[in-house]
Structure 1
């Protein structure tokens, strides 16, 4: 009887270990996906900030967002990514352009918000040019 109980116990332990291995593997795969996504987001963030400020990127980002220079430096160099509060500051400062730039694949609503924002910018620029043109006459 102890043999069969022991045999059943070994079988159950083997199933638990297999399940634990599968869970561990799934967690590892999930971590890799998060790291790749995070690395991609970090790269996209770095590109966006450098494009926004080709010169003195770190100083400009720190000043515009009211963050420590070291924090801005870590973002620009890809050593860290902004937390939730700082992401809100980035979105508030740079708008839909920022979200489209750092989002891996922008959903339709975000793409539309970006287009609307760009259209508003262009309309404002056209109005300013029209006023300058009229002033020359």
Structure 2
């Protein structure tokens, strides 16, 4: 979980998680520094904010679960959007618009 949160927010991890989840930064710091686990409500807040990718990070041994498929589909959508942006930029360069 801590690796996931740090990857999402490389700088000021605790403060960023607090801003996105309303979990206090001091609580998040305890997870990051002491290895404490989140409470039920905090875990729920993390799942609500970070979704299937968070569940995959927390439960890597369950790669065949529904959330792994959801995370894969979300990543595919993200990548397809990025490709579409790049294609538009390439078209602009080819047409002399950039």
TM-score range, shorter chain: 0.7 to 0.9
Bigger fraction of residues in helix: 1
2:79 matches 1:122: yes
Q: Give how far 1:107 is off.
A: 4.6
- Which 5+ residue runs of structure 1 have no aligned equivalent? 1-44
In structure 1, what is the equivalent of residue 29 of structure 2?
Answer: 73
Q: Please state whether the residue corresponding to 1:77 is helix, strand or coil.
A: helix
**Number of the residue aligned with 1:82:** 38
Displacement after TM superposition at 1:116 (Å): 0.9
Report the TM-score, using the length of structure 2 for normalisation: 0.79
* Contact residue 46 and residue 78 of structure 1 kept, 8 A: no
Aligned partner of 1:63 in structure 2 is 19
1:15-60 deviations in Å (ceiling 9; x for gaps): xxxxxxxxxxxxxxxxxxxxxxxxxxxxxx1111112112211111
Count of paired positions: 93
1:119 is displaced (CA, Å) by 0.6
Runs of 4+ in structure 1 deviating by more than 3 angstroms, as ranges, are none
**Shift of residue 78 of structure 1?**
3.5
RMSD between superposed Cα atoms in Å = 1.8
Which position in structure 1 is the counterpart of 2:68?
111
Is the contact made by 1:91 and 1:98 (CA closer than 8 Å) also made in structure 2?
Answer: yes
When Rg is computed on C-alpha atoms for both structures, the one with the higher figure is: 1
